[in-house]
Chain A
Amino acid sequence: MAFIKLNHITRSYKSGKSIINALDNVSFEIEKGDFTVILGPSGSGKSTLLNLVGGMDFPTQGEIIVDGSRVETLNERQLTKYRRENIGFVFQFYNLIPNLTAFENVDLANRLSPNAHNSREIMEIMGLKDRMRNFPAEMSGGEQQRVSIARAICKNPKIMLCDEPTGALDSTTGKNVLITLQEMAKYYGNAVIVVTHNTAIASSADRLVRLKDGKVESITNNVWPELIENVEW
């Protein structure tokens, strides 16, 4: 059975008298170690999909099965535990805690997970050795995003969910961030899901899911995904 299985997922929102389907009967599967890219224009339902897998939202219909467990049936406390032990989030706007230094932001996540990696090692791997004692406001956007990724990785999550991780970064920094994420999937065997509207990285994904108007437009499996450093941005 696939590590992540989305089975006929629909997520609807009421808007006045009408109902809007942010996701409409979406089904696909993701395996461990996959670097999955979900591609689609604005409003296609990418972030909604990520939130559902991440246990931050409930589907209106359908099943989300992660590592054999039905996520949509979990209660609030079980969902918290699910996020705590299984999910690493990377946000477009980093969402670091401004009062904590880079190291403390990472170490904070480290304390949550029973199988966490060493915070310092992860930061060194992320090239943040010299920025450990800096507060987020003292760092550039790229550095903050790397801290955000380090925080996600440090928990040693089974799934890394990245919502437009390069959206607020310049091309070089964005590329470096994606390289890191791709490597994480390979080295640590995480299922990395990256939501983006940047078509340039489509060729680098192990699995490419294209969404349009809340529906799966296509699913492509790349047997030989291109390395991100070789991608023309």
Chain B
Amino acid sequence: MKYLVVKTYRDLMKNWIQFVAVFIMTVLSVAIYAGMEGVWNGLDYVVQNYYQTANMADARIFSSSINESEIEQIRELHFVDDVSSSMVFSTILDNHEIENSMIRIRTLNIDDRIAIPIVQTGSEIAYNSNNGIWLNTEFAREHSIETGSHIILAFQSFSKEFEVIGLVFSPEYIYYPGSIAETVPNHRRYGYAFISEVAATEFVGGVAHNEVRVIFNDDQNIALDEFGNIFGSYYLDTILEIDTISANQIAKEISQMRIMAQMFSFVFILLALLTMYTTMSRLIRNQTVTIGLLKALGMSNTRIRMHYCLYGIIISLAGGWLGAFLGGLILSPAVIRVKEVTLTLPVWEIRVSYTTYMVMALITVVCLFSCLIASWKRTREMPAVTMRGEAPQRNKKSRRRYECKYELAIDFSFEWQWIFRDIKRAKLRAIIGVIGIVGGLVLLIAGLGFRDSINYSNAYVFNVQYSYVDKLLLNNLTPEDRTLLETQFDDHQWLFDTRARFETVSHHRNGLLRVLDEGDFIRFQDINQFDIPLPHDGVLLNRRFANTLGVERGDQLDIQIIGTRIEFTVDVVDIIYSPAPQGAFMSKDYFESFGIPFLPTAMLLGDSYEDDLLRNIESVQNKVRIVDQKNDMDIMSQSVMTIIALLIMASVILSVVILYNLGALNFVERYREYATMKVLGFYRREITLLMLRETVLTLLVGTAIGIPAGFWFLGEYIAIVAFDTFDWIPSVNTVSLVIAQGVVTLCSIVVTLILGNQIRKINMVEALKSGE
């Protein structure tokens, strides 16, 4: 009906503040979901595309010796579709710096069809090139290497000059921290490259394959044990592609984004629902006579309800489309910037799927239903019934109390009586006010607390947990070099870091196994932050690591060092507070008690030494300064700050919108009462104070719920978004808490004062003209 549409338009214009609140929340909820979904869906799509282009393996088998016959045996297995083998080894880039850069080399031959690198610039893969190398693009960029540049690589005592003839990307290295002890990819320090077997032979004197890549066919009966049988004593390990660090990280990042999007969208959808309901309830209550008139004119209840549902549909559809647009335009690029820190992809795509449209549809349905519910009761009643108004509810109990303490109740001041009764009369409105405060506080505490938690965790690792200055990374440490190092550096501690598989009856997980010699450069604290010594009869596990394994103090754990056949069972002595690195920590003595020799892979130094002292020690592969490690972490933290800034912005918008909407709603509903007070002779300040009292009450209740809820939400949020390799410790410092509370309080009070100022504009004559 034409005039109902005109009425809808004019109602929307007249009540725009309330509808804008619903609109903003719809925009935010869809923008967050669409923005996040665009990234995770795009990431999934791009990764799958690359996997397909590169013909990724389903599994990688590690063996210390591989020959043609064994490859053929694998090919004959009923579940194998294709197989190829290669030699993979780590080399050092000779760039005359003591802080070496490591390049992981994989050889390629003409039969290789699995996990082939994707050439981005330069020549296609040439299997007979004797000095060409295909280097990964990011590493090349960090070292200003271009196609045509020459680089010298060293492996043990071998060395060879290569010409960079192509820059490549391999989907196997989308997440590549380079070392088990690292968390964030460092493209300057760790790279990967591909050379032909011809070049490898020239480089290291021959080719000895140590990795097999396998693609499975459709046969579901995959028997990984078969690989062990084929390789016999040379067999080391098999890892499914989905279990690799890179694939795991991608899955984790996708899952993180999905959960974050769902959590935040849910909060905003809930608030949109509540705001829509209160707005429509008020609108409909104010239009009781209009509804009666429309009914008197012969309009059916269904048509009237449909008319009111139109408000919800218009607002939610408009907000949904704008949200989807803004999500892709603003949020997705911001999220991609964060994800680029950990994941390396040549191209990122933003792709929303049907689920974003489903979220939009859900919001529309939610708004529609809130309108329907709000209009249902009023359309059933006749105006004569509803026009009489509703007395504040008073049960028998409260009446008795009121009668007994009559004088006392009066002395409680009419302002508070008024506020309490108003809350009683309009519970939902009061609840929304509290939700606004709680929501604002929760999101602000989560946003600021997330930043604090990252900073606190970084500071904990590098200021409390570690006290060394430099860390030397060692490779095949010879007894001579060990003696030399011990002689030159008094203040030191030996470490053995390795990747291991940890297994309980029900769970298994890969992680770091760190064995420590005597020394105090690494401090351990239990979950209550009390210092504990490194035990000599068991291991220490990080909290997150222990949780994922389902392990507690006193439990036993099977450990297998990856790439070897070394297996042993350990006792878990304690759970430690440390956020990173995630894994198990044991003493050298305990490690050696299993008959395994302790061969250090790193040396921690208490002081900074001249690089010249290290230059001629062959076993020293690299030197890492703790300052640089901390800087790397700070860089990653900074990238997360974009998301945090968005989160804080959303919190502030939420607080302002909800509180302003609520304030405006209160103001409109009490317009006549305020006009009466003005006529009676109340000063504007006195009326504003009355409004402020309600604000303070809402703030108090909201704060009492919001602060604990904020801490809880932060804990849950961090548990979800933290990496498996770095478990951020939830922490909110006092300043952040004061800021969060301050922002919410300020928003509430400013909104109240702005509305208080509107009292000046109340036209007493007009306001009191009619009872309508």
Tell me the bound Cα distance from A151 to B390 in angstroms: 22
By the criterion CB–CB under 8 Å, are A54 and B680 in contact?
A: no
**Interface range on chain B: under 10, 10 to 19, 20 to 34, or 35 or more?**
20 to 34
Tell me the bound Cα distance from A108 to B682 in angstroms: 10
Among A87, A95, A96, A112: residue with most chain B CB under 10 A = A95
Please give me the residue from chain A that is nearest to B402 by CB atom.
Answer: A133
By the criterion CB–CB under 8 Å, are A83 and B680 in contact?
A: yes
The answer to whether the Cβ of A135 comes within 8 Å of any Cβ in the partner chain is: yes
From A99-107, A200-208, A216-224, give the one contacting chain B: A99-107
Q: Which of B422, B679, B760 contacts A76 (CB 8 A)?
A: B760
The answer to whether the Cβ of B425 comes within 8 Å of any Cβ in the partner chain is: yes
Residues of A within 8 A of B (CB): 47, 51, 54, 56-57, 76-77, 80-85, 87, 89, 91, 93-100, 103-104, 107-109, 111-113, 133, 135-138, 151, 155, 168
Please give me the residue from chain B that is nearest to A135 by CB atom.
Answer: B391
CB within 8 Å of A: which of B391-431?
Answer: 391-392, 402-403, 410, 414, 417-418, 421-422, 425
Q: How far is the CB of A189 from chain B (nearest CB, A)?
A: 20
Answer whether A84 and B681 are a contact pair too, CB < 8 Å, given A93-B771, A97-B673, A99-B422. Answer: yes
Chain B 668-682 near chain A by CB (<8 Å), digits 1 or 0: 000011011111111
By the criterion CB–CB under 8 Å, are A99 and B418 in contact?
A: yes
By the criterion CB–CB under 8 Å, are B682 and A112 in contact?
A: yes
CB within 8 Å of A: which of B755-772?
Answer: 760, 764-765, 768, 770-771
Please give me the residue from chain B that is nearest to A82 by CB atom.
Answer: B681
By the criterion CB–CB under 8 Å, are B679 and A83 in contact?
A: yes
A-B contact pairs, 21 of them (CB 8 A): A47-B765, A51-B765, A54-B679, A77-B683, A80-B678, A83-B679, A84-B683, A85-B681, A87-B681, A93-B768, A95-B768, A98-B391, A99-B392, A99-B421, A100-B418, A104-B414, A108-B680, A112-B682, A135-B391, A137-B390, A155-B681
A-chain residues with CB within 8 Å of residue B391 when the two chains form the complex: 98, 135-138
A-chain residues with CB within 8 Å of residue B425 when the two chains form the complex: 99
The answer to whether the Cβ of B389 comes within 8 Å of any Cβ in the partner chain is: yes
Tell me the bound Cα distance from A54 to B390 in angstroms: 31
Q: How far is the CB of B759 from chain A (nearest CB, A)?
A: 11
B-chain residues with CB within 8 Å of residue A95 when the two chains form the complex: 672, 675-676, 679, 768
4 closest cross-chain pairs (CB), A and B: A84-B681, A93-B771, A137-B391, A83-B681
The answer to whether the Cβ of B388 comes within 8 Å of any Cβ in the partner chain is: yes
Tell me the bound Cα distance from A95 to B678 in angstroms: 12
Answer whether A57 and B418 are a contact pair too, CB < 8 Å, given A104-B410, A112-B682. Answer: no
Tell me the bound Cα distance from A7 to B677 in angstroms: 29
A-chain residues with CB within 8 Å of residue B410 when the two chains form the complex: 103-104, 107
By the criterion CB–CB under 8 Å, are B679 and A137 in contact?
A: no
By the criterion CB–CB under 8 Å, are B681 and A56 in contact?
A: no
B-chain residues with CB within 8 Å of residue A133 when the two chains form the complex: 402-403
Main secondary structure of the interface of B (DSSP, over half): helix
Tell me the bound Cα distance from A107 to B412 in angstroms: 12
By the criterion CB–CB under 8 Å, are A109 and B417 in contact?
A: no
Tell me the bound Cα distance from A99 to B418 in angstroms: 6
Answer whether A137 and B389 are a contact pair too, CB < 8 Å, given A93-B771, A97-B673, A100-B418. Answer: yes
By the criterion CB–CB under 8 Å, are A100 and B681 in contact?
A: no
By the criterion CB–CB under 8 Å, are B421 and A80 in contact?
A: no
| Extra A-B contacts (16), CB below 8 Å, given A91-B768, A137-B391 | A47-B765, A51-B765, A77-B683, A82-B681, A83-B678, A93-B771, A95-B768, A96-B676, A99-B392, A100-B414, A104-B410, A135-B391, A135-B392, A137-B390, A151-B680, A168-B771
Q: Which of A54, A97, A104 contacts B676 (CB 8 A)?
A: A97
B-chain residues with CB within 8 Å of residue A151 when the two chains form the complex: 680
Q: How far is the CB of B82 from chain A (nearest CB, A)?
A: 79
Tell me the bound Cα distance from A112 to B391 in angstroms: 25
Please give me the residue from chain A that is nearest to B760 by CB atom.
Answer: A76
By the criterion CB–CB under 8 Å, are A104 and B680 in contact?
A: no
Q: How far is the CB of A140 from chain B (nearest CB, A)?
A: 11
By the criterion CB–CB under 8 Å, are B392 and A57 in contact?
A: no
Chain B 733-772 near chain A by CB (<8 Å), digits 1 or 0: 0000000000000000000000000001000110010110
A-chain residues with CB within 8 Å of residue B675 when the two chains form the complex: 95
Q: Which of B389, B679, B760 contacts A56 (CB 8 A)?
A: B679
By the criterion CB–CB under 8 Å, are A104 and B681 in contact?
A: no
Q: How far is the CB of A23 from chain B (nearest CB, A)?
A: 13
B-chain residues with CB within 8 Å of residue A87 when the two chains form the complex: 681
Tell me the bound Cα distance from A131 to B390 in angstroms: 17
Q: How far is the CB of B677 from chain A (nearest CB, A)?
A: 8
Among A98, A103, A133: residue with most chain B CB under 10 A = A98
By the criterion CB–CB under 8 Å, are A108 and B392 in contact?
A: no
Tell me the bound Cα distance from A138 to B393 in angstroms: 11
B-chain residues with CB within 8 Å of residue A104 when the two chains form the complex: 410, 414, 417
Tell me the bound Cα distance from A130 to B429 in angstroms: 32
Tell me the bound Cα distance from A133 to B401 in angstroms: 12
Tell me the bound Cα distance from A155 to B680 in angstroms: 9
Answer whether A80 and B682 are a contact pair too, CB < 8 Å, given A57-B765, A93-B771, A137-B388. Answer: yes
Tell me the bound Cα distance from A155 to B410 in angstroms: 18
Please give me the residue from chain B that is nearest to A112 by CB atom.
Answer: B681
Answer whether A97 and B388 are a contact pair too, CB < 8 Å, given A77-B683, A83-B681, A133-B402. Answer: no
Answer whether A81 and B681 are a contact pair too, CB < 8 Å, given A93-B770, A95-B676, A97-B676. Answer: yes
Tell me the bound Cα distance from A155 to B675 in angstroms: 18
By the criterion CB–CB under 8 Å, are B388 and A108 in contact?
A: no
Q: How far is the CB of A121 from chain B (nearest CB, A)?
A: 15
Please give me the residue from chain B that is nearest to A84 by CB atom.
Answer: B681
Please give me the residue from chain A that is nearest to B389 by CB atom.
Answer: A137
Q: How far is the CB of A92 from chain B (nearest CB, A)?
A: 8
B-chain residues with CB within 8 Å of residue A89 when the two chains form the complex: 679-680
Among B414, B683, B771: residue with most chain A CB under 10 A = B414
Tell me the bound Cα distance from A223 to B26 in angstroms: 71
By the criterion CB–CB under 8 Å, are A84 and B680 in contact?
A: yes
Chain B 112-151 near chain A by CB (<8 Å), digits 1 or 0: 0000000000000000000000000000000000000000
Please give me the residue from chain A that is nearest to B672 by CB atom.
Answer: A95
Q: How far is the CB of A190 from chain B (nearest CB, A)?
A: 16
Tell me the bound Cα distance from A47 to B422 in angstroms: 31
A-chain residues with CB within 8 Å of residue B771 when the two chains form the complex: 93-94, 168
Q: How far is the CB of A112 from chain B (nearest CB, A)?
A: 5
Q: How far is the CB of A69 from chain B (nearest CB, A)?
A: 15
Q: How far is the CB of B758 from chain A (nearest CB, A)?
A: 14
Tell me the bound Cα distance from A84 to B676 in angstroms: 12
B-chain residues with CB within 8 Å of residue A77 when the two chains form the complex: 683
A-chain residues with CB within 8 Å of residue B390 when the two chains form the complex: 137
By the criterion CB–CB under 8 Å, are B389 and A98 in contact?
A: yes
Tell me the bound Cα distance from A103 to B673 in angstroms: 16
B-chain residues with CB within 8 Å of residue A99 when the two chains form the complex: 392, 417-418, 421-422, 425, 673
Q: How far is the CB of B390 from chain A (nearest CB, A)?
A: 6
Tell me the bound Cα distance from A108 to B687 in angstroms: 13
A-chain residues with CB within 8 Å of residue B684 when the two chains form the complex: 80
B-chain residues with CB within 8 Å of residue A103 when the two chains form the complex: 410
Q: How far is the CB of A135 from chain B (nearest CB, A)?
A: 4
B-chain residues with CB within 8 Å of residue A57 when the two chains form the complex: 765
By the criterion CB–CB under 8 Å, are A97 and B681 in contact?
A: no
By the criterion CB–CB under 8 Å, are A109 and B680 in contact?
A: yes
CB within 8 Å of A: which of B88-104?
Answer: none
B-chain residues with CB within 8 Å of residue A100 when the two chains form the complex: 414, 417-418, 421
Chain B 648-690 near chain A by CB (<8 Å), digits 1 or 0: 0000000000000000000000001101111111111000000
B-chain residues with CB within 8 Å of residue A109 when the two chains form the complex: 680
Please give me the residue from chain A that is nearest to B771 by CB atom.
Answer: A93
Please give me the residue from chain B that is nearest to A56 by CB atom.
Answer: B764
Tell me the bound Cα distance from A183 to B102 in angstroms: 104
Q: How far is the CB of A21 from chain B (nearest CB, A)?
A: 16
Tell me the bound Cα distance from A4 to B635 in angstroms: 78
Chain B 466-507 near chain A by CB (<8 Å), digits 1 or 0: 000000000000000000000000000000000000000000
A-chain residues with CB within 8 Å of residue B672 when the two chains form the complex: 95
Please give me the residue from chain B that is nearest to A134 by CB atom.
Answer: B391
B-chain residues with CB within 8 Å of residue A82 when the two chains form the complex: 681
